[in-house]
Amino acid sequence: MIPIRILVGDNEELIRTCAELELAKLGKSVVVDTATDHEEAIALVRERFYDIAFVDLMFDSNDENPYGKLVLAELSRVSAGCVQVLMTRHARTQGTTIVGALTANEVVPIMILKGDTEYFADTVKRVFADRLAQNWILPDIAELAGQVQSKSRRIAGLKDGTIEHEILRVLFGIFDEPASISLLNGGARVTLLPLNPGQSESSVSQAQLSYGIDPRGQEILGIRCFLKVGPRSKILEEVRRFNGLVRMGVPSEFRVEMIGWAGADALAGVCYSFAGAGSDQDIRSFDDLVRNDDTGRAISIVHRLFDPDKKSWDGVVGNPAKLRSYYESLHDHTDLAVCTGKMAAYVDKHLSGKINDRDQYVITGSSPVQIPSEADLGRGLFTRNRSTCLVHGDLHGGNLLIGPHDSVSMIDYATVGIGPRFADAAALGASVRLQQKYGTNLNDDQLFDDLLNAERALLRRDPQASAAYATNPWFPIAQEIAEAALVNVVGRGGDVTEGLLQELAVTQWAYAVNSFGLYRWSKQQRLHLIAWCAALASKWM
């Protein structure tokens, strides 16, 4: 089972010793730390996570100062999930101090009177009855913990020594009730299969409950689902958005259902069902299809996503005024000037030898290509004056899961909201470019020239020019994404205006610059981004 971590803070050695003896009766289900003064207790609280803390109110050697309040305050700050127990033997004479400790604290602690030391074990049994009765087998979380560890610098408040314990708390909160249903003799088992780590702060795993073997020797499986573990604040925002915008109001064959969530301190997790429950493990992301050159299958899924006859997300028309808050929440600014400036600074830092004093990318044997300036793309104003709709907001290929029989499910609803109508196509188009396999036989100039011409062919929608790149797996997929998104807006046979093309192209570029950390891009991907920018500049500027 998941060990219950306990802190006992008291300046009296007798109290600490009795607590350790009583809690030892609970065996391996508990881990106990003790502190002799409030400073040691605060240091332990900052270093480790505790499920419950027993803290002496008058936590000093002379029983004169209510330093226990300081420990409780620190617990509230760094460990909101911890159960707080305030201990005192002077309830009558210290009434005012006790009331002050209770009312000043964000988390109202349990108050107990010192006396019979059996209250330590009794309190733990009462508060953690469910966990002590747990009758399911914990999964191997080493791989998932390793992924979380690799992203720990981007998760506020996460302490290295508590990662596994926090993950186990999340799993308990989500799976204890369904796993504790007794179908057969013996405990149920949760199996986790972490997916390839993406670029966000969160980690995604396939999860499945097994209830044992039936009399015919067949494994009894529960629904296959997906577990996302990440920063507590972002997971809770995702849950809020799903409940508020998706659960009751969005018809979509690609939607999953949220079946549970749970939080620890710095981490939280949310679990979604996956269409087509069962034992078949053949689940891939859209990015996997692109990387594996499965072009035909990827294009088929693109057509289904943006089929104008099956409008779902884009059928929910939004208020154009909401676009400002969309850009602010996703990118911390409301136009493209900032991201264009970021691009110029990045080019100057990493490719300074290729950029002349007129901000032109110099290609050997070719005319210099102008890099867009801050004003080149109209400061993004037109992207806020166009029609809006409900968007997923972060529909890169890692958030599209492809199951048996090409069932498609969207995951990650942290950015669902009203946004630009091309936002989801932009995300998928940018993601496809990141999966490209670049030829090793080309030098930088040749690669840039090739990418620039490919991006220009896409923007011009020129069949003859596009034919030259048809064998490059990323190109036909990006082409189909753009065309399908345009048809989704204007309808079959509708008129695609120049303004609509510009809106699509710039929304794609803005998503790529803002949503993928530039420092994570390979050298070839950096060149591709610059070629993309230059293609935009050469078409409209």
Q: Are strands 83-88 and 30-35 parallel, antiparallel or unpaired?
A: unpaired
DSSP 162: G
Residue 28: burial class (beta carbons within 10 Å; 0-12, 13-18, 19+): exposed
Cα separation, 285 vs 298, in Å, equals 10
Cα separation, 58 vs 268, in Å, equals 34
Cα separation, 198 vs 414, in Å, equals 15
Listed in order, strand segments (DSSP E) in 17-75 are 30-35, 52-56
Q: Are 212 and 183 in contact (CB under 8 A)?
A: yes
The pTM score is: 0.70
Cα separation, 406 vs 425, in Å, equals 19
Look at residues 370, 371, 390, 372 and name the one whose alpha carbon lies nearest to residue 380: 372
Task: Indicate the range of 128-137, 179-188, 410-419, 496-505 predicted with least confidence.
Answer: 179-188
Cα separation, 155 vs 231, in Å, equals 5
Q: What is the pLDDT at residue 270?
A: 93
Q: What is the pLDDT at residue 452?
A: 83
Q: Is the pLDDT of residue 377 over 50?
A: no
Q: Is 393 helix (H, G, I), strand (E, B) or coil?
A: coil
Beta bridge partners of 194: 205
CATH number given to 4-132:
3.40.50.2300
Q: Is 430 helix (H, G, I), strand (E, B) or coil?
A: helix
Cα separation, 532 vs 436, in Å, equals 14
**Start-end of CATH 3.30.200.20 domains in the chain:** 136-273
Q: What is the CA radius of gyration of the chain?
A: 28
Q: Are 343 and 355 in contact (CB under 8 A)?
A: no
CATH number given to 136-273:
3.30.200.20
Q: What is the pLDDT at residue 340?
A: 53
**Start-end of CATH 3.40.50.2300 domains in the chain:** 4-132
Task: Indicate the range of 203-212, 325-334, 527-536 predicted with least confidence.
Answer: 325-334
Query: For 387-416, what is each residue's pLDDT tens digit?
Result: 677 788 888 888 888 877 788 888 888 888
**Start-end of CATH 3.90.1200 domains in the chain:** 284-540
Q: What is the pLDDT at residue 378?
A: 37
Q: Are strands 388-391 and 417-420 parallel, antiparallel or unpaired?
A: antiparallel
Question: Which tokens hold the place of 67?
Answer: 């330093």
Beta bridge partners of 271: 227, 260
Q: Is the pLDDT of residue 382 over 50?
A: no
Q: How many CB atoms lie within 10 A of CB 481?
A: 28
Q: Are 355 and 361 in contact (CB under 8 A)?
A: yes
Terminal CA-CA length for the chain: 64
Query: For 171-183, what is each residue's pLDDT tens digit?
Result: 888 888 777 765 6
| pLDDT confidence bin for 39, thresholds 50/70/90 | very high
Higher-scoring residue by pLDDT: 310, 227: 227
Phi, psi at residue 189, to the nearest 5°? Answer: -135, 140
Listed in order, strand segments (DSSP E) in 10-70 are 30-35, 52-56
Task: Indicate the range of 40-44, 196-200, 272-276, 366-370 predicted with least confidence.
Answer: 366-370
- Domain 284-540 class in CATH: alpha beta
Q: Is the pLDDT of residue 480 over 90?
A: yes
Secondary structure element (H or E) that encloses residue 300, with its range = helix 295-305
Look at residues 236, 242, 182 and name the one whose alpha carbon lies nearest to residue 209: 182
Task: Indicate the range of 169-183, 202-216, 315-329, 397-411 predicted with least confidence.
Answer: 315-329
Look at residues 255, 233, 166, 181 and name the one whose alpha carbon lies nearest to residue 211: 181
Q: What is the pLDDT at residue 360?
A: 61
Q: What is the pLDDT at residue 229?
A: 94
Question: Which tokens hold the place of 143?
Answer: 């791989």
Highest-scoring range by mean pLDDT, 29-43, 105-119, 355-369, 427-441:
29-43
Torsional class of 186: left (φ above 0), alpha (ψ -120 to 50), beta (otherwise): left
Look at residues 53, 126, 59, 45 and name the one whose alpha carbon lies nearest to residue 83: 53
Query: For 231-268, what is each residue's pLDDT tens digit?
Result: 998 898 889 888 877 776 666 678 788 888 988 888 99
Q: Are strands 258-263 and 267-273 parallel, antiparallel or unpaired?
A: antiparallel
Question: Which tokens hold the place of 428?
Answer: 């998928």
Task: Indicate the range of 103-117, 440-454, 458-472 predicted with least confidence.
Answer: 103-117
Q: Is the pLDDT of residue 305 over 60?
A: yes
Query: For 64-80, what is each residue's pLDDT tens digit?
Result: 788 888 898 888 887 76
Instruction: Tally DSSP H helices, then E strands, for the chain.
Output: 20, 18
Q: How many CB atoms lie within 10 A of CB 445?
A: 16
Q: Residue 265's Cα: distance from chain center in Å?
A: 16
Look at residues 277, 279, 297, 280 and name the one whose alpha carbon lies nearest to residue 288: 297
